[in-house]
Structure 1
Amino acid sequence: MPSTTSITRPSRSSRQSKTTCIPGKLECAAQAKILAQKRRIPLATKYNVNTNGAAAPATTRISLPRTLPRPVLGEVDLASLAHAYPNLTGVPAEYIRDLLPSSTSSMRAALQAVKTSGVCSSSLPKELEIIMNDTVAAACPTHMLAVYNDASLGFGQKRHVSLFPMHDLVLRVHCARLPTLPLSQPSTSSPSATIPVVPFCLSSPETFPLLHAYLYTQQPATLRTSLAYPCESASDLLQLATHASKIHGLWRNACTLGVVDPQLYDVIEASWEHTLSAMQACS
């Protein structure tokens, strides 16, 4: 499970540098902008506003894009993959992705068993020490992702950061737009191991656990269940709008990282369509 911490508000210059921690432009950005301006579905709902002690109806409008454009699916950086894993030199990334789910059960168990020490709540360290046990040693994570967004902070506010242990092989074979990952081969023969902390700037940190889990399991049915309607009746428009925000956040993260799995986008697109249809039905 991810742990959380907070870091103090960085200076203006450091904020500018962090926004470029994930290189590359999204091919879907221009399409998304056009959709946002020209192809949006207006949805109306009512809510109560208490002004003089009595409930009065008011109307707010929710505007959402009709579709979530699928990014151009390139391939991952094979040179970077081979540099980190020389034994995989010349092996197609698609072949590795196909075989990976059969060997990730021990990886997922290790993630659940990870415990850290020496976490400072006021600043983000460059490395973290994880406690070694039999489960972790069987498939030790290579990196700790420090996931955050670059939203503006008020004076004195602290930025919220969520920590996710991760195996870089999973990231390298699935994501075509990774930030630079330092090489890491933690020793499993000691009582603890030190792994690098990698700042991960994403627009929707709160939905990263969904993507994190999918990259390990590659089970579209499980993700589809996670993106099902939040209520059986699907009659609460505001609740559905919140659910749509969850799907949209997952899509933004997948585009940012350049996830190359087409099944992921199949699930996102179907879930988005079903949610918008439910919103239209009850608006």
Structure 2
Amino acid sequence: MQFVQDLFYFPRIGKGIFRVWMRNFTYFKYTIWVSIFWVFIEPILYLLGIGYGLGAFVNGVDGQSYIHFFTPALMSISAMFVAYFESTYASYTKLAVQKTFNSILLTPVTAAEIAVGEILWASFKSFLSVLGVTVVAVALGLLDITYLFPALVVLFLTGWLFASFGLLLASYAKNYDWFIYGQSGIIIPMSLFSGTYFPLSELPSYLQPVAYSLPLTHTILAVRSLLSGQIEPSIFINIAVLFVFALMFSNLAIAKLSRRITG
């Protein structure tokens, strides 16, 4: 069965992935300052509008102020959104519109290396967004940096997970409309019901198992636990879930995109 084969697809890859990454970075340098500007402005708007604005009407959540509750979630959804959009719209453009991947295949770079390079690039862009939120949050005194590094590792893993998911969708897509379905049907609902804006305990009991099946839920739980300093053994389950999702989507995306490029 093709799905099972793709799920356990572990291709041999080399330094070609870094050539793909560098190609994307070279193009990125033309708009780098505009991108960095929005990396810092966007979290400020979210923190002002939701963290402080909505937070003014909330006494507290789980023993902390609302903005301290919301900040780790903002870092998490930033990782998800940027990775998804970069690996869908941007990757599909290079795949089907500009035919960039076909041109790269004329060099000593394999189709699998193109796929991994695209995932790595989208993860990098995602991590830049996370760093923007982090810098703003630290400047506002909203983060305890004691366990910041492991939290950033979890967020990079999250970026890789959603970059892989987005690239998998791009490898099947026939047009840009496919990404609207993924965005409206999966990404946005996940951003709303993963403990982002309110505790999972406030969900109806029949929806809580659904929430815990979402990878973003485990990102938010892990990052919130690390940044609050209240680390519980369940964090290892959260990280394990993220790793399994990331590995699964990576293998599926690499296998499917490789076939589409070479087929």
Q: Could you say which structure has the higher strand fraction?
A: 1
Q: Which has the higher contact order (CA 8 A, sep 6+)?
A: 2
Q: What is the TM-score of this pair, normalised by structure 1?
A: 0.29
Give the structure-2-normalised TM-score: 0.31
